[in-house]
């Protein structure tokens, strides 16, 4: 679990604890006010299904497609490079019986250099892919953070939690009336399309 996910889980847990204590106090006093409608507790909450958000936010889909294409491109380049390395190795091995010790040593060194070059290329592609993923995540998080600030100016939520059906960390249950996932995704997609370069 990423540090951001752990942090969000902790925030969700603390918020849920706070809300639970507020609701217990209200129910003891005979109040069953709806917190999402700024009832007696004065706390307005909502939650977003992060799995659905990731599946339906256009920017996430675009970045996933970009990462998929980069993976395929790197995999194809590595495959071609590996095939070239294997051809050269077969060529050297086929000539090995006719080589003297010095030539054989040079051929082995050449193969070792080719193998090292291939491993370096693999590492380079892996690092490039990680940078692409990190850059995509930063862009998505930046867009999400700026949109939430704008969105919440109108909605005035005290807390907007996330939950994941897949990971079950942080928020284990939320009443459906607090789920703003569909509305939020529609709004963030509309904003993204409007501001897309």
Within 10 angstroms of residue 183's Cβ, the number of other Cβ atoms is 13
- Helix boundaries (H) for 96-180: 101-155
Span 34-82, pLDDT tens digits: 334 444 568 899 999 999 999 999 999 999 999 999 999 999 999 998 9
Span 153-195, pLDDT tens digits: 999 999 998 888 877 667 777 889 999 999 999 999 999 999 8
**Percentage of the chain modeled with pLDDT above 70:** 78
Token look-up 């607090």 returns: 178
Evaluate whether 55 touches 47 at the Cβ level (below 8 Å).
no
Which band of pLDDT confidence, cut at 50, 70 and 90, is reported for residue 18? very low
Q: Is 16 exposed, middle or buried (0-12, 13-18, 19+ CB in 10 A)?
A: buried
Which run of H or E residues covers position 49? Answer: strand 45-49
Task: Using alpha carbons, list the distances in angstroms from residue 129 to 70, 73, 77, 78, 122.
Answer: 7, 10, 13, 13, 11
CA dist., res. 106 & res. 74, Å (int): 30
Q: Mean pLDDT for the chain?
A: 80
Span 100-134, pLDDT tens digits: 888 888 888 888 888 898 899 999 999 999 999 99
Evaluate whether 62 touches 196 at the Cβ level (below 8 Å).
no
Q: State the pLDDT at residue 145.
A: 93
Instruction: Retrieve residue 66's tokens.
Output: 């970009």
Q: State the pLDDT at residue 158.
A: 94
Which run of H or E residues covers position 89? Answer: helix 58-95
CA dist., res. 167 & res. 10, Å (int): 14
Q: Where are the domains of the chain?
A: 1-43, 62-162
């Amino acid at each position: 679990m990423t540090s951001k996910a752990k942090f969000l889980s902790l925030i969700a847990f603390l918020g849920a604890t706070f809300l639970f204590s507020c609701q217990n106090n209200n129910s003891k006093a005979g109040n069953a006010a709806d917190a999402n409608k700024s009832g007696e507790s004065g706390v307005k909450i909502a939650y977003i299904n992060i799995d659905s958000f990731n599946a339906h936010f256009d920017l996430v889909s675009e970045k996933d497609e970009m990462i998929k294409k980069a993976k395929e491109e790197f995999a194809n380049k590595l495959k071609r490079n590996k095939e070239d390395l294997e051809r050269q190795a077969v060529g050297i091995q086929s000539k090995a019986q006719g080589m003297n010790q010095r030539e054989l040593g040079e051929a082995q060194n050449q193969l070792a250099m080719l193998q090292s070059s291939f491993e370096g290329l693999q590492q380079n592609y892996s690092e490039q892919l990680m940078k692409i993923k990190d850059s995509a995540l930063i862009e998505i998080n930046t867009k999400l953070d700026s949109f939430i600030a704008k969105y919440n100016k109108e909605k005035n939520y005290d807390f907007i939690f996330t939950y994941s059906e897949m990971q079950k960390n942080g928020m284990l249950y939320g009443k459906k009336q607090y789920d703003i996932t569909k509305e939020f995704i529609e709004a963030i997609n509309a904003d993204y399309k409007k501001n897309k370069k």
